[in-house]
Chains A and B, each alone.
Chain A
């Protein structure tokens, strides 16, 4: 919900509840005051009846005017306490019942007691209350529309710097070296927010650049000693005195140096992908890329006597050629590496997905863990980064990758 909507909601709720409570208090108060007033009137009426009896020594006629009705009833020697109550008032002129107020009491006349009831219409009070209700509702409508307009124009204007900042933050790219541009605001809080965000982003960017150059330099620095080690070994093996046992060990060292440099490069690449640093997108014909890759791997396929079937439809994707190359490399080399001699590989490319199936160990792999960093099979000689790279590349381009084990085939399915 938008900020203005929240404001409107709060405004509507408070206005309505304040007016409701106010209206209720009004209603009760006015009803109470009106009743008091009526009761006073009715008391006067009884006094008038008493005066009339004192003066004329007879009961007044049962008068039925518009305003009040009076009735007398003989009650013998009983004395009634005076009480006031709400009753129905029958308006003779308009021929309808209205709510009314009445007083009941006893008067003494001709050595007997009479019950006297005088009732009066409360219509005037009702009318007053209706008026108050109307005014309240009108007030509510006016208040709400004013609130709405204020929110609409004043608040939107007031919060404009905030929304501008928000737009900037949404498109914030930590690898982008340019600074954030924020408009100046009259509001202190926004000014503070602007400067806080400026400081934060500048710091984040410089930290990011530092870390980036640090990782780059660290990798660089690590590669140089590795080169030296390799060169020393290259020189060392020229020594005619070395026996084959020693040479085999040197070969092992070579292999691990190679593994280490690959691992290093994979980590660097992961960092680059994670930070959106690869941007050389171009239209790539995936079927053509796959064909090239299969050709590159032909020798390895032949070497393990693997039979490869391919069913490739034309499909263009907009990606970095470098990343797609790595993606296909890792998937295909896995399919070959984990395949027994004489196994099978199927590659199916349709417009919507790429499926690479291969025979291998006759049990499903953990479809979650295989994409984790440094997760690898027991027999795997790889770095444990291959599928992580594949997954990150897929995520980078919003492709969906999953692993399934179907009909004794390990399947990697990428959906574009």
Chain B
């Protein structure tokens, strides 16, 4: 509590299972002193009411354990972007430009049309650029809790193939590199 009131952080990861008391108390405290940091709740509790309570108390997002580092990274980046890029809602990565408001993507200034899942995938890759991302992490990201299909990788393959093709149509660079046996890497 001392630390959060003295320093300013870009983003606070709040583990609801902190041994010295309920994480909600800290969250309320943070909001009561009008801190504007992004708060990402980490919790093992997959209970709707906890989630709603967290978000209602001013948390920006809620991540259920266990999660992949790549997922955490994508969530943190998303919160950080929302908190800092107040005016400029455009994300540039190499030849790719993304309008975060209109969810429009251009490659080499040429627009490409992405499905919702492909757009999610692209954002996820950019957040984890240069890192190897496992197929399991991608599956969990794309389907989340909704569908227990995390062990079904055919669909990921289809989405990645489509995304890769749409980007490759506009540029010579192949952004998505397959890592045999485990997943992909976005260059």
Contacts and interface: CB of A to CB of B under 8 A. Distances in A.
A247 B155 contact: no
Given A229-B66, A234-B137, A223 B44 contact: yes
B181 A329 contact: no
Interface string B116-132: 01000000000000011
Contact of B134 (A237, A303, A382): A237
A251 B136 contact: yes
Contacts of B49: 280
B45 A333 contact: no
Interface of A is mostly: helix
B17 A220 contact: yes
B70 to A, nearest CB: 6
Given A299-B155, A322-B48, A333-B148, A234 B66 contact: no
A321 to B, nearest CB: 8
Interface in B96-138: 117, 131-132, 134-137
Interface stretch (A5-13, A124-132, A258-266, A403-411): A258-266
A265 B44 CA distance: 9
A396 interface: no
Contact of A224 (B65, B180, B183): B65
B151 interface: yes
Interface in A361-394: 381-382, 386
Given A224-B65, A226-B66, A303-B155, A251 B147 contact: no
10 contacts: A216-B45, A223-B65, A234-B69, A234-B134, A238-B132, A247-B180, A258-B136, A258-B151, A261-B66, A333-B147
A178 interface: no
B182 A237 contact: yes
B2 interface: no
B81 to A, nearest CB: 22
Contacts of B155: 299-300, 303
B88 interface: no
A230 interface: yes
A244 B46 CA distance: 34
A187 B85 CA distance: 75
Interface of B: 17, 42-46, 48-49, 64-70, 117, 131-132, 134-137, 140, 146-152, 154-155, 158, 179-183
B66 A300 contact: no
Interface residues of A, number: 46
Nearest to B49: A280
Contacts of B44: 219-224
Interface string A326-342: 00010001000000000
A59 interface: no
* 5 nearest A-B residue pairs (beta carbon): A247-B181, A223-B44, A247-B182, A223-B65, A226-B66
A234 B182 contact: no
A197 B182 CA distance: 59
A74 interface: no
B150 to A, nearest CB: 5
A17 interface: no
Contacts of A300: 147, 149, 152, 155
A296 B147 contact: yes
A329 B145 CA distance: 10
A295 to B, nearest CB: 11
A231 B69 contact: yes
Given A223-B66, A230-B67, 9 more contacts: A234-B69, A247-B180, A268-B46, A280-B48, A296-B146, A300-B149, A300-B152, A322-B48, A329-B148
B66 A333 contact: no
Nearest to A272: B47
B149 A333 contact: yes
B135 A251 contact: yes
A255 interface: yes
Nearest to B154: A303
A325 B135 CA distance: 25
